[in-house]
Amino acid sequence: MRPPLDAPDAVEADALAAREAAPDRAAQRLIETLPGRDFRDALGSFATGVTVVTTSTASRELIGVTISSFNSVSLDPRLILWSLSLASPRFAAFRQASHYAVNVLALDQAWISDCFASRDHELFHEVRISRGRSGLPLIDGCAAWFECRNAAHYPGGDHLIFVGEVERFARGATSEPLVFHGGRYRELRADNR
């Protein structure tokens, strides 16, 4: 008898059947073995928004990093995720942070994305900020802000995955987001349909 659909055995059996049905296994293996640069380029075909994740350390230093791996996870409870390279100069500070804010950049904030993707440590001199509930730096003029308590860390290869519980959020005056695709900033084309 076939087990219920959500049983792990059924899921594994379905995955096995799908793998066996793959029409061209040799071509698939070829794609899997292409060099790392091609893997990055393929990932870049997935368009994302751009965020700057910010926090305030125990010694009250403000830090932030440009992040496009932000995504929604759950509505109830309100959970989001993002991932940070283990090699990031800000890695240790973010791993220790109990709270952080995700600042969703607006179309005219590509320069802020560039700023927080650099290794410069004086980044906060360049931007205007307000303070969130736990003193988190919130960058002015963003499309949205999510103030989070870190709920969990998960290993993710050469990145660490952060899952945050959203304690407070707000939307900005602009609804025009900054978009990142194929290694370039883009804007959304008006929807005329």
The one-letter code for the residue type at 112 is I
Alpha helical stretches, state H, 33-107: 36-43, 91-96
Q: Tell me, by CB under 6 A, how many residues bind ligand FMN.
A: 17
**Identified binder of ligand FMN from the candidate list 62, 117, 129, 161, rule CB under 6 A:** 117
Q: Of the ranges 39-47, 59-67, 121-129, 133-141, which one interacts with ligand FMN (CB under 6 A)? A: 59-67
CA atoms within 13 A on the CB side of 14: 10
Question: How large is the C-alpha radius of gyration of the chain?
Answer: 20
**Identified binder of ligand FMN from the candidate list 113, 127, 137, 162, rule CB under 6 A:** 113
Residue 166 interacts with ligand FMN (CB under 6 A)?
Answer: no
Residue 68 interacts with ligand FMN (CB under 6 A)?
Answer: yes
Nearest to ligand FMN of 21, 185 (CB atom): 185
What Cα–Cα distance (Å) separates residue 50 from each residue in 17, 20, 62, 137, 150? Answer: 38, 38, 19, 17, 20
Residue 162 interacts with ligand FMN (CB under 6 A)?
Answer: no
Residue 66 interacts with ligand FMN (CB under 6 A)?
Answer: yes
Residue 65 interacts with ligand FMN (CB under 6 A)?
Answer: yes
Q: How far is the CB of 159 from ligand FMN (least distance, A)?
A: 6
Count each helix (H run) and each strand (E run) in the chain, helices first: 5, 12
Of 66, 62, 43, 42, nearest to 53 by C-alpha is: 66
Which residues form the interface with ligand FMN (CB under 6 A)? 50, 65-69, 83-85, 87-89, 113, 117, 119, 159, 180
